[in-house]
Chain A
Amino acid sequence: MFGVVAARADSLTIILDRSTNSSELYVAGPAETLLALFDVDRAVIPMQDGVVDYSAFALGTWGIGDALLQNTRVTFDNAPSGFEAMSFMLHPSEDALPLQTPFDANMAIGICSALSSPERYALEEMTGYVGYFSDQTSSASTIEVVLPSVSRTSLNISVVDYMQGGALTFVRRFEPGEPIRFVIPPPGNSFRLNIPLVLLALVSVFAAAWKINHRSFVEHCLRQLFAKHHGRKAQPTSCSE
Protein backbone atom coordinates (compact mmCIF):
# COMPACT_ATOMS: atom_id res chain seq x y z
CA MET A 1 0.00 0.00 0.00
CA PHE A 2 2.75 2.45 0.86
CA GLY A 3 4.86 3.86 -1.92
CA VAL A 4 8.39 5.10 -1.39
CA VAL A 5 9.15 8.75 -1.75
CA ALA A 6 12.05 9.86 -3.86
CA ALA A 7 14.64 11.75 -1.86
CA ARG A 8 14.75 14.89 -4.00
CA ALA A 9 12.72 17.27 -1.89
CA ASP A 10 11.52 17.34 1.63
CA SER A 11 8.77 19.88 1.98
CA LEU A 12 5.12 20.39 1.19
CA THR A 13 2.79 23.26 1.97
CA ILE A 14 -0.85 22.70 2.84
CA ILE A 15 -3.33 25.57 3.11
CA LEU A 16 -6.72 24.88 4.60
CA ASP A 17 -9.54 27.40 4.24
CA ARG A 18 -12.46 26.72 6.56
CA SER A 19 -15.62 28.65 5.92
CA THR A 20 -19.05 28.28 7.43
CA ASN A 21 -20.52 26.47 4.45
CA SER A 22 -17.57 25.00 2.57
CA SER A 23 -13.94 23.99 2.85
CA GLU A 24 -10.98 24.38 0.56
CA LEU A 25 -7.68 22.56 0.68
CA TYR A 26 -4.59 23.50 -1.26
CA VAL A 27 -1.37 21.51 -1.56
CA ALA A 28 1.88 22.66 -3.11
CA GLY A 29 5.32 21.19 -3.54
CA PRO A 30 7.89 20.17 -6.09
CA ALA A 31 6.01 18.30 -8.80
CA GLU A 32 7.90 15.04 -8.48
CA THR A 33 7.56 15.10 -4.71
CA LEU A 34 3.83 15.65 -4.98
CA LEU A 35 3.41 12.71 -7.32
CA ALA A 36 5.54 10.47 -5.11
CA LEU A 37 3.88 11.46 -1.85
CA PHE A 38 0.41 10.98 -3.31
CA ASP A 39 1.55 7.73 -4.96
CA VAL A 40 0.52 8.74 -8.45
CA ASP A 41 2.28 7.79 -11.66
CA ARG A 42 3.88 10.73 -13.47
CA ALA A 43 1.99 9.71 -16.60
CA VAL A 44 -0.95 11.63 -15.15
CA ILE A 45 0.82 14.83 -16.24
CA PRO A 46 0.55 15.46 -19.99
CA MET A 47 4.07 15.56 -21.42
CA GLN A 48 5.46 15.97 -24.89
CA ASP A 49 9.12 15.49 -25.80
CA GLY A 50 10.09 15.50 -22.14
CA VAL A 51 8.43 18.79 -21.25
CA VAL A 52 5.06 19.61 -19.76
CA ASP A 53 2.38 19.93 -22.45
CA TYR A 54 0.39 22.94 -21.34
CA SER A 55 -1.95 22.78 -24.32
CA ALA A 56 -3.67 19.81 -22.67
CA PHE A 57 -4.41 22.02 -19.64
CA ALA A 58 -6.90 24.10 -21.63
CA LEU A 59 -9.65 21.59 -20.97
CA GLY A 60 -9.22 21.89 -17.22
CA THR A 61 -6.92 20.01 -14.88
CA TRP A 62 -9.23 18.80 -12.14
CA GLY A 63 -8.70 15.26 -13.46
CA ILE A 64 -5.05 15.49 -12.40
CA GLY A 65 -6.13 16.84 -9.02
CA ASP A 66 -8.60 14.02 -8.50
CA ALA A 67 -5.96 11.48 -9.50
CA LEU A 68 -3.58 12.94 -6.91
CA LEU A 69 -6.15 12.55 -4.16
CA GLN A 70 -7.46 9.12 -5.09
CA ASN A 71 -5.08 7.21 -2.80
CA THR A 72 -5.17 9.78 -0.01
CA ARG A 73 -7.65 9.90 2.84
CA VAL A 74 -8.93 13.24 4.11
CA THR A 75 -11.66 13.17 6.75
CA PHE A 76 -13.69 15.66 8.77
CA ASP A 77 -14.32 14.12 12.20
CA ASN A 78 -13.64 10.68 10.71
CA ALA A 79 -16.25 11.17 7.96
CA PRO A 80 -15.37 11.61 4.27
CA SER A 81 -14.46 15.20 3.52
CA GLY A 82 -16.06 15.28 0.06
CA PHE A 83 -13.09 17.12 -1.42
CA GLU A 84 -12.98 17.22 -5.20
CA ALA A 85 -10.37 18.91 -7.30
CA MET A 86 -10.81 22.43 -8.62
CA SER A 87 -7.59 22.75 -10.56
CA PHE A 88 -3.96 21.67 -10.78
CA MET A 89 -1.20 23.83 -12.14
CA LEU A 90 2.54 23.66 -12.62
CA HIS A 91 4.77 26.70 -12.36
CA PRO A 92 8.56 26.85 -12.77
CA SER A 93 10.20 26.34 -9.39
CA GLU A 94 12.67 29.11 -10.20
CA ASP A 95 9.75 31.57 -10.10
CA ALA A 96 8.11 30.35 -6.94
CA LEU A 97 4.75 31.97 -6.31
CA PRO A 98 3.76 33.45 -2.95
CA LEU A 99 1.90 30.81 -0.98
CA GLN A 100 0.77 32.05 2.39
CA THR A 101 -2.97 32.51 2.09
CA PRO A 102 -5.90 30.76 0.39
CA PHE A 103 -5.97 33.69 -2.01
CA ASP A 104 -2.35 33.03 -3.02
CA ALA A 105 -3.15 29.36 -3.44
CA ASN A 106 -6.22 30.06 -5.51
CA MET A 107 -4.12 32.19 -7.80
CA ALA A 108 -1.48 29.49 -8.08
CA ILE A 109 -3.86 26.71 -9.13
CA GLY A 110 -5.45 28.77 -11.91
CA ILE A 111 -4.61 27.92 -15.49
CA CYS A 112 -2.80 31.05 -16.57
CA SER A 113 -0.96 32.61 -19.48
CA ALA A 114 1.35 29.59 -19.50
CA LEU A 115 -1.13 28.13 -21.99
CA SER A 116 0.07 30.56 -24.61
CA SER A 117 3.66 30.92 -23.45
CA PRO A 118 6.46 29.42 -25.55
CA GLU A 119 8.40 28.47 -22.40
CA ARG A 120 8.42 24.75 -21.66
CA TYR A 121 9.85 22.95 -18.67
CA ALA A 122 10.66 19.43 -17.56
CA LEU A 123 8.69 18.07 -14.62
CA GLU A 124 11.76 18.21 -12.36
CA GLU A 125 11.86 21.99 -12.79
CA MET A 126 8.26 22.53 -11.80
CA THR A 127 6.32 23.10 -8.60
CA GLY A 128 2.81 21.70 -8.50
CA TYR A 129 -0.19 23.46 -6.98
CA VAL A 130 -3.52 21.72 -6.51
CA GLY A 131 -6.77 22.91 -4.93
CA TYR A 132 -9.80 21.00 -3.64
CA PHE A 133 -13.28 22.14 -2.73
CA SER A 134 -15.88 20.56 -0.48
CA ASP A 135 -19.37 21.87 0.14
CA GLN A 136 -19.12 20.59 3.69
CA THR A 137 -18.02 22.91 6.43
CA SER A 138 -15.04 21.98 8.57
CA SER A 139 -15.15 25.05 10.77
CA ALA A 140 -15.43 22.91 13.91
CA SER A 141 -13.94 19.66 12.64
CA THR A 142 -10.84 17.67 13.31
CA ILE A 143 -9.28 17.04 9.96
CA GLU A 144 -7.13 14.00 9.38
CA VAL A 145 -4.90 13.59 6.35
CA VAL A 146 -3.37 10.21 5.52
CA LEU A 147 -1.10 10.02 2.51
CA PRO A 148 -0.43 6.65 0.85
CA SER A 149 3.33 6.88 1.23
CA VAL A 150 6.21 6.96 3.62
CA SER A 151 9.05 9.39 3.30
CA ARG A 152 12.48 8.00 2.55
CA THR A 153 14.01 11.24 3.71
CA SER A 154 13.00 13.79 6.32
CA LEU A 155 9.90 15.62 5.29
CA ASN A 156 8.45 18.89 6.56
CA ILE A 157 4.81 19.62 5.90
CA SER A 158 3.82 23.22 6.63
CA VAL A 159 0.15 23.58 7.41
CA VAL A 160 -1.60 26.95 7.31
CA ASP A 161 -5.05 26.59 8.82
CA TYR A 162 -7.26 29.52 7.89
CA MET A 163 -10.47 30.15 9.73
CA GLN A 164 -12.58 33.14 10.43
CA GLY A 165 -10.38 35.89 11.76
CA GLY A 166 -6.94 34.41 11.35
CA ALA A 167 -4.64 31.53 10.72
CA LEU A 168 -2.72 28.95 12.66
CA THR A 169 0.48 27.67 11.18
CA PHE A 170 2.42 24.62 12.20
CA VAL A 171 5.06 22.40 10.72
CA ARG A 172 4.86 18.64 10.99
CA ARG A 173 8.12 16.79 10.53
CA PHE A 174 8.24 13.20 9.36
CA GLU A 175 11.30 11.05 9.77
CA PRO A 176 12.41 8.59 7.10
CA GLY A 177 10.09 5.58 7.01
CA GLU A 178 7.36 7.26 9.01
CA PRO A 179 3.81 6.98 7.59
CA ILE A 180 2.58 10.41 6.53
CA ARG A 181 -0.47 10.97 8.66
CA PHE A 182 -1.39 14.09 10.59
CA VAL A 183 -4.29 15.76 12.31
CA ILE A 184 -5.39 19.38 12.09
CA PRO A 185 -7.40 20.17 15.23
CA PRO A 186 -10.58 22.23 15.11
CA PRO A 187 -9.87 25.95 15.49
CA GLY A 188 -11.83 26.26 18.74
CA ASN A 189 -9.62 23.70 20.44
CA SER A 190 -6.61 25.90 20.10
CA PHE A 191 -8.37 28.71 21.89
CA ARG A 192 -9.83 26.46 24.56
CA LEU A 193 -6.38 25.10 25.24
CA ASN A 194 -4.42 28.29 24.97
CA ILE A 195 -6.57 30.93 26.64
CA PRO A 196 -6.70 29.22 30.07
CA LEU A 197 -2.98 28.57 29.85
CA VAL A 198 -2.31 32.20 29.02
CA LEU A 199 -4.58 33.36 31.85
CA LEU A 200 -2.91 30.98 34.27
CA ALA A 201 0.49 32.23 33.23
CA LEU A 202 -0.58 35.87 33.69
CA VAL A 203 -2.05 35.19 37.13
CA SER A 204 1.12 33.37 38.13
CA VAL A 205 3.28 36.28 37.02
CA PHE A 206 1.15 38.83 38.88
CA ALA A 207 1.05 36.68 41.98
CA ALA A 208 4.80 36.23 41.93
CA ALA A 209 5.34 39.97 41.42
CA TRP A 210 2.98 40.84 44.24
CA LYS A 211 4.62 38.31 46.50
CA ILE A 212 8.08 39.72 45.80
CA ASN A 213 6.96 43.29 46.40
CA HIS A 214 5.01 42.29 49.45
CA ARG A 215 8.01 40.49 50.88
CA SER A 216 10.21 43.50 50.16
CA PHE A 217 7.76 45.78 51.89
CA VAL A 218 7.61 43.57 54.98
CA GLU A 219 11.37 43.28 54.92
CA HIS A 220 11.67 47.06 54.64
CA CYS A 221 9.35 47.64 57.58
CA LEU A 222 11.22 45.16 59.73
CA ARG A 223 14.51 46.85 58.85
CA GLN A 224 13.09 50.27 59.74
CA LEU A 225 11.79 48.92 62.99
CA PHE A 226 15.07 47.16 63.75
CA ALA A 227 17.12 50.28 62.96
CA LYS A 228 14.89 52.51 65.08
CA HIS A 229 15.00 50.13 67.94
CA HIS A 230 18.81 49.95 67.82
CA GLY A 231 19.33 53.63 66.96
CA ARG A 232 20.83 52.91 63.57
CA LYS A 233 20.14 54.58 60.28
CA ALA A 234 17.92 52.47 58.11
CA GLN A 235 19.43 51.08 54.90
CA PRO A 236 17.54 52.05 51.79
CA THR A 237 15.80 49.20 50.06
CA SER A 238 14.50 48.84 46.63
CA CYS A 239 11.03 49.20 48.03
CA SER A 240 11.70 52.59 49.58
CA GLU A 241 13.57 54.14 46.68
Chain B
Amino acid sequence: MTQNTDRRKFLVATAAVTLLPALPSFAQSDEQAVVEMLTKHPTDSKLRNVFFPRITSVQAGQTVLFKATDRSHNSASIDGMIPDAAEEWDGRINEDVEVTFDVPGVYGYKCTPHAATGMVALIVVEGEGKLDNLEAAQGVRQRGRAKKVFEEIWEEAAELGLLEATST
Protein backbone atom coordinates (compact mmCIF):
# COMPACT_ATOMS: atom_id res chain seq x y z
CA MET B 1 0.00 0.00 0.00
CA THR B 2 2.79 2.40 0.95
CA GLN B 3 4.63 1.33 -2.13
CA ASN B 4 1.57 2.04 -4.28
CA THR B 5 1.12 5.47 -2.72
CA ASP B 6 4.77 6.26 -3.27
CA ARG B 7 4.52 5.11 -6.86
CA ARG B 8 1.42 7.25 -7.41
CA LYS B 9 3.16 10.28 -5.90
CA PHE B 10 6.17 9.62 -8.12
CA LEU B 11 3.98 9.39 -11.23
CA VAL B 12 2.11 12.57 -10.38
CA ALA B 13 5.36 14.41 -9.73
CA THR B 14 6.87 13.11 -12.95
CA ALA B 15 3.80 14.14 -14.95
CA ALA B 16 3.88 17.58 -13.39
CA VAL B 17 7.56 18.08 -14.13
CA THR B 18 7.07 16.83 -17.68
CA LEU B 19 3.92 18.77 -18.55
CA LEU B 20 4.38 22.08 -16.78
CA PRO B 21 7.08 23.45 -19.11
CA ALA B 22 4.82 22.77 -22.10
CA LEU B 23 2.03 24.96 -20.82
CA PRO B 24 1.68 28.59 -21.91
CA SER B 25 3.09 31.18 -19.58
CA PHE B 26 0.65 33.17 -17.45
CA ALA B 27 2.74 35.79 -15.70
CA GLN B 28 1.50 37.38 -12.51
CA SER B 29 1.36 41.17 -12.58
CA ASP B 30 4.34 41.55 -10.26
CA GLU B 31 6.73 39.31 -12.11
CA GLN B 32 8.59 39.41 -15.38
CA ALA B 33 7.62 36.85 -17.98
CA VAL B 34 10.42 35.04 -19.75
CA VAL B 35 10.37 33.66 -23.28
CA GLU B 36 13.36 31.63 -24.32
CA MET B 37 14.69 31.69 -27.87
CA LEU B 38 15.75 28.13 -28.58
CA THR B 39 17.20 26.11 -31.40
CA LYS B 40 15.77 22.91 -29.91
CA HIS B 41 12.43 22.62 -28.14
CA PRO B 42 13.01 21.54 -24.51
CA THR B 43 10.45 18.74 -24.51
CA ASP B 44 9.86 17.86 -28.17
CA SER B 45 13.14 17.03 -29.86
CA LYS B 46 11.48 17.12 -33.29
CA LEU B 47 10.76 20.82 -33.00
CA ARG B 48 13.55 23.18 -33.87
CA ASN B 49 13.88 26.97 -33.78
CA VAL B 50 11.17 27.86 -31.30
CA PHE B 51 10.10 30.47 -28.80
CA PHE B 52 9.32 28.80 -25.50
CA PRO B 53 6.60 29.11 -24.47
CA ARG B 54 4.99 30.15 -27.71
CA ILE B 55 1.96 31.72 -26.01
CA THR B 56 2.44 34.17 -23.18
CA SER B 57 -0.26 36.02 -21.28
CA VAL B 58 0.67 39.15 -19.34
CA GLN B 59 -1.08 42.07 -17.73
CA ALA B 60 -0.81 45.54 -19.27
CA GLY B 61 2.37 47.21 -18.03
CA GLN B 62 4.28 43.98 -17.57
CA THR B 63 7.68 43.27 -19.11
CA VAL B 64 8.68 40.21 -21.10
CA LEU B 65 12.30 39.14 -21.28
CA PHE B 66 13.17 37.43 -24.55
CA LYS B 67 16.15 35.39 -23.51
CA ALA B 68 18.79 34.48 -26.11
CA THR B 69 19.39 31.03 -24.66
CA ASP B 70 20.59 29.65 -28.00
CA ARG B 71 22.45 31.47 -30.75
CA SER B 72 21.22 33.01 -34.00
CA HIS B 73 17.82 34.13 -32.76
CA ASN B 74 16.11 37.41 -32.05
CA SER B 75 12.62 38.65 -31.22
CA ALA B 76 10.85 41.17 -33.42
CA SER B 77 7.23 42.27 -33.67
CA ILE B 78 5.43 41.31 -36.87
CA ASP B 79 4.06 44.14 -38.97
CA GLY B 80 0.29 44.37 -38.59
CA MET B 81 0.20 41.98 -35.65
CA ILE B 82 0.38 44.45 -32.77
CA PRO B 83 -2.16 47.05 -31.56
CA ASP B 84 -2.10 50.39 -33.37
CA ALA B 85 -1.02 52.27 -30.26
CA ALA B 86 1.74 49.83 -29.39
CA GLU B 87 5.42 50.22 -30.21
CA GLU B 88 7.21 47.81 -32.48
CA TRP B 89 10.36 46.08 -31.28
CA ASP B 90 13.26 44.48 -33.10
CA GLY B 91 15.82 42.73 -30.92
CA ARG B 92 19.34 42.05 -32.07
CA ILE B 93 20.42 38.53 -32.89
CA ASN B 94 22.15 36.69 -30.01
CA GLU B 95 21.03 39.31 -27.49
CA ASP B 96 18.41 39.34 -24.74
CA VAL B 97 15.74 41.97 -25.12
CA GLU B 98 13.14 43.26 -22.66
CA VAL B 99 9.86 44.66 -23.91
CA THR B 100 7.20 46.29 -21.75
CA PHE B 101 3.67 45.82 -22.98
CA ASP B 102 1.49 48.77 -21.99
CA VAL B 103 -1.27 48.43 -24.55
CA PRO B 104 -3.75 45.55 -24.22
CA GLY B 105 -4.04 43.41 -27.31
CA VAL B 106 -2.55 40.48 -29.16
CA TYR B 107 1.06 40.69 -30.29
CA GLY B 108 2.49 38.40 -32.97
CA TYR B 109 6.26 38.22 -33.09
CA LYS B 110 8.99 36.34 -34.89
CA CYS B 111 12.64 35.43 -35.06
CA THR B 112 13.71 37.37 -38.14
CA PRO B 113 15.88 34.73 -39.88
CA HIS B 114 13.67 31.79 -38.80
CA ALA B 115 10.17 33.21 -39.19
CA ALA B 116 9.38 31.28 -42.37
CA THR B 117 10.51 28.03 -40.76
CA GLY B 118 7.86 28.60 -38.11
CA MET B 119 9.67 30.45 -35.32
CA VAL B 120 6.78 32.73 -34.42
CA ALA B 121 4.79 33.22 -31.24
CA LEU B 122 2.08 35.21 -29.50
CA ILE B 123 1.74 37.47 -26.49
CA VAL B 124 -1.71 38.35 -25.17
CA VAL B 125 -1.78 41.49 -23.06
CA GLU B 126 -4.83 41.50 -20.84
CA GLY B 127 -6.92 44.61 -20.37
CA GLU B 128 -9.64 46.73 -21.87
CA GLY B 129 -9.83 46.30 -25.65
CA LYS B 130 -7.44 43.39 -25.81
CA LEU B 131 -9.30 41.88 -28.76
CA ASP B 132 -9.45 45.09 -30.79
CA ASN B 133 -6.59 44.06 -33.06
CA LEU B 134 -7.36 40.34 -33.10
CA GLU B 135 -8.97 40.28 -36.52
CA ALA B 136 -6.23 42.39 -38.06
CA ALA B 137 -3.53 40.19 -36.52
CA GLN B 138 -5.19 37.00 -37.71
CA GLY B 139 -5.49 38.47 -41.18
CA VAL B 140 -1.78 39.08 -41.64
CA ARG B 141 -0.35 36.87 -44.34
CA GLN B 142 2.26 34.51 -42.99
CA ARG B 143 5.10 32.99 -44.94
CA GLY B 144 6.06 29.34 -45.11
CA ARG B 145 5.60 27.23 -42.01
CA ALA B 146 4.60 30.29 -39.96
CA LYS B 147 1.11 29.84 -41.47
CA LYS B 148 0.77 26.43 -39.92
CA VAL B 149 2.27 27.47 -36.58
CA PHE B 150 0.02 30.51 -36.23
CA GLU B 151 -3.03 28.38 -37.02
CA GLU B 152 -2.02 26.14 -34.13
CA ILE B 153 -1.32 29.12 -31.89
CA TRP B 154 -4.68 30.80 -32.53
CA GLU B 155 -6.46 27.52 -31.89
CA GLU B 156 -4.51 26.90 -28.71
CA ALA B 157 -5.05 30.46 -27.45
CA ALA B 158 -8.78 30.12 -28.05
CA GLU B 159 -8.87 26.81 -26.18
CA LEU B 160 -7.11 28.46 -23.26
CA GLY B 161 -9.75 31.18 -23.19
CA LEU B 162 -7.21 33.89 -24.01
CA LEU B 163 -9.23 35.14 -26.94
CA GLU B 164 -12.32 35.85 -24.90
CA ALA B 165 -13.04 39.39 -23.85
CA THR B 166 -13.64 38.30 -20.27
CA SER B 167 -10.41 36.41 -19.68
CA THR B 168 -8.08 37.93 -17.15
What residues make up the interface of A, taking CB atoms closer than 8 Å to B? 21-22, 24, 57-62, 84-87, 103, 106-107, 109-113, 115-116, 131-133, 135
Contact B115 A110 (CB under 8 A): no
Contact B113 A61 (CB under 8 A): yes
The 18 listed contacts between A and B (C-beta, < 8 Å) are: A21-B148, A60-B115, A60-B116, A85-B144, A86-B117, A87-B117, A87-B144, A103-B46, A110-B39, A110-B49, A110-B72, A110-B117, A112-B71, A112-B72, A115-B93, A133-B144, A133-B147, A135-B148
Residue of A nearest to B115 (CB): A60
Give Cα A28 to B117, complex, Å: 16
| B112 contacts partner chain A, Cβ-Cβ < 8 Å | yes
**Chain B residues in 8 Å Cβ range of A113:** 71-72
**Chain A residues in 8 Å Cβ range of B114:** 60, 87, 110-111
Which of A24, A58, A84, A133 is the one whose CB lies under 8 Å from B93? Answer: A58
| B25 contacts partner chain A, Cβ-Cβ < 8 Å | no
Q: A60-B112, A116-B72 are in contact. Are A22 and B117 (CB under 8 A)?
A: no
Residue of B nearest to A111 (CB): B113
Contact B94 A116 (CB under 8 A): yes
Contact A115 B72 (CB under 8 A): yes
**Chain B residues in 8 Å Cβ range of A24:** 145
**Chain A residues in 8 Å Cβ range of B49:** 110
Interface size class of B (residues with CB under 8 A): 20 to 34
Give Cα A122 to B71, complex, Å: 24
Contact A85 B148 (CB under 8 A): no
Contact A86 B144 (CB under 8 A): yes
Contact B143 A62 (CB under 8 A): yes
**Chain B residues in 8 Å Cβ range of A21:** 148
Give Cα A131 to B114, complex, Å: 12
Give Cα A103 to B41, complex, Å: 13
What residues make up the interface of B, taking CB atoms closer than 8 Å to A? 39, 46, 48-49, 71-72, 93-94, 112-118, 143-145, 147-148
Q: A110-B49, A116-B72 are in contact. Are A62 and B144 (CB under 8 A)?
A: yes
Which of A58, A84, A116 is the one whose CB lies under 8 Å from B113? Answer: A58
9 nearest CB pairs, A to B: A86-B144, A111-B113, A133-B144, A86-B116, A62-B116, A86-B117, A113-B71, A133-B145, A60-B113
Give Cα A183 to B116, complex, Å: 27
- Give min CB distance, A58 to chain B, whole Å: 6
**Chain B residues in 8 Å Cβ range of A133:** 116, 144-145, 147-148
Give Cα A111 to B49, complex, Å: 10
Q: A57-B113, A60-B115, A116-B94 are in contact. Are A111 and B72 (CB under 8 A)?
A: yes
Q: A131-B117, A135-B147 are in contact. Are A110 and B48 (CB under 8 A)?
A: yes
Give Cα A139 to B118, complex, Å: 21
Contact A106 B48 (CB under 8 A): yes
List 16 other contacts, CB 8 Å, given A57-B113, A87-B144: A21-B148, A58-B93, A58-B113, A59-B112, A60-B116, A86-B117, A86-B143, A86-B144, A87-B116, A87-B117, A107-B48, A113-B71, A115-B93, A115-B113, A133-B145, A135-B147
Residue of B nearest to A60 (CB): B113
- Give min CB distance, A175 to chain B, whole Å: 35
Give Cα A21 to B115, complex, Å: 20
Q: A116-B71, A135-B148 are in contact. Are A84 and B143 (CB under 8 A)?
A: yes
